[in-house]
Amino acid sequence: MEEKGKIRLGISVGDLNGIGCEVALKTFEDSRMLDFCTPVLFASSKSMAAQKNALGLNVTYHGIQKATEAVDGKINVVNIWKEVPELEFGKSTKEGGAYAIRSLKAAVKALRDNEIDVLVTAPINKNNIQAEDFKFPGHTDYLAKELEGESLMFMITDGLKVGLLTDHVAVKDVAQAITPQLIRKKVRTVMNSLKADFAIRKPKIAILGINPHSGDNGLIGKEDEEVLKPTIKLLNDEGNLVFGPYSADSFFGSGSYTDFDAVLAAYHDQGLIPFKTLSFGKGVNFTAGLNKVRTSPDHGTAYEIAGQGKADHSSFKEAVFAAINIFRNRQEYEELTANPLRKYKKKAERF
């Protein structure tokens, strides 16, 4: 699709009562962003008009009926509903969740059908999205069902990339959920992503311990000794640059993460608390391992400031750039791996 024009970047608008529409519209209020991609929002022109007027934003957009009608150089809005949902900024409502899912489903279908190249998802509320036809804890699980591949929540910024062995799993269930098979699968996904999506030839990965002090040689839990260490050794024996387990309490504060291309944390908060502390406002949530590119900002619906025009769109903007860069890196990687002699032939032709 890119050969016909700019990268078509789909946007699901998230909870209409949160800051999703605000950060998306603010990102493309700067017309220079239209030089990098063609944005396609899945909502309705009337809903965008309501958001624009409520927030006092100076943006114009082009209403279309399907993503394939998107025009380069414009903000395109696919009209997937005709009615105008009532805006109740700052409130979690059943209606807000229902429209968030309508936007997401339409955007994912367009992504699957190659009508858009990449997808950036604005924040949803995990409680009000639940319905008979949508019973997922969040974006990642839904995308894993709809797209091909093995999904992994990968929090990324220029100097730090953090993946999770377990994501939305209760802390009491973490240790049991981490098996040698799971570790190997997640490492494989991260390795492949670092190579294809970030152009890193020989990725180096750190794995954090499950227990405090990585179990203190078995004094504080046996999982690090009996599960993590043997699996890491096997991965190393197979030629992978995988190291650990490292004690999570000092790993980030000491700057040890800078020695690695990515870090695999054992569970959600172990990875996301330091990530957001070090990079809040610049971080991006990337769903690695799928056959399509999806990113999102590293924040939620932010009901407390919704409708006030105060939302910082930095993370959403970073999510847009990340999606574009990953898409291009992936295209180049696929070309090179499909014909590894190509780059050498091109080089030889210059002499």
Which region among 131-140, 185-194, 264-273, 282-291 has the lowest average model confidence (pLDDT)?
131-140
What sign does the CA torsion over 41, 277, 258, 185 have? negative
* pLDDT at residue 2, as a whole number: 44
What is the percent of the chain with per-residue pLDDT over 70, rounded to a whole number? 94
* Distance from C-alpha of 200 to C-alpha of 154, rounded to nearest angstrom: 15
**What does the pLDDT average to over 233-237?**
96
Identify the residue whose tokens are 């396609």: 40
DSSP element (H, E) containing 118? strand 118-121
**What does the pLDDT average to over 190-203?**
96
DSSP element (H, E) containing 38? strand 38-43
Residues 121 and 139 sit within 8 Å (Cβ to Cβ): yes
pLDDT of 1 strictly over 50? no
Q: Which residues are paired to 11 by β-bridges?
A: 41, 120
**What does the pLDDT average to over 48-59?**
93
Residues 264 and 206 sit within 8 Å (Cβ to Cβ): yes
Residue 337: CA atoms inside 13 Å, Cβ hemisphere, count?
11
Residues 37 and 320 sit within 8 Å (Cβ to Cβ): yes
Residues of 279-316 as b/e, b for ≥16 C-beta within 10 angstroms?
beebbbbbbbbbebbbbbbbbebbbebbbeeebbbbbb
One-letter identity of residue 226: E
Confidence band, pLDDT 50/70/90 cuts, at residue 349: low
pLDDT of 256 strictly over 90? yes
pLDDT of 336 strictly over 90? no
pLDDT of 344 strictly over 60? no
What three-state secondary structure class fits 234?
helix
Using one digit for the tens of pLDDT, what is the confidence trace for 290-309?
999 999 999 999 999 999 99
Strands of the sheet containing 204-208, edge to edge, are 62-64, 76-79, 38-43, 8-12, 118-121, 293-297, 284-290, 149-157, 160-164, 262-265, 204-208, 241-246
Residues 224 and 245 sit within 8 Å (Cβ to Cβ): yes
Burial of 159 from C-beta contacts in 10 A (0-12 / 13-18 / 19+): exposed
C-alpha radius of gyration, the chain, whole number: 21
* pLDDT at residue 3, as a whole number: 45
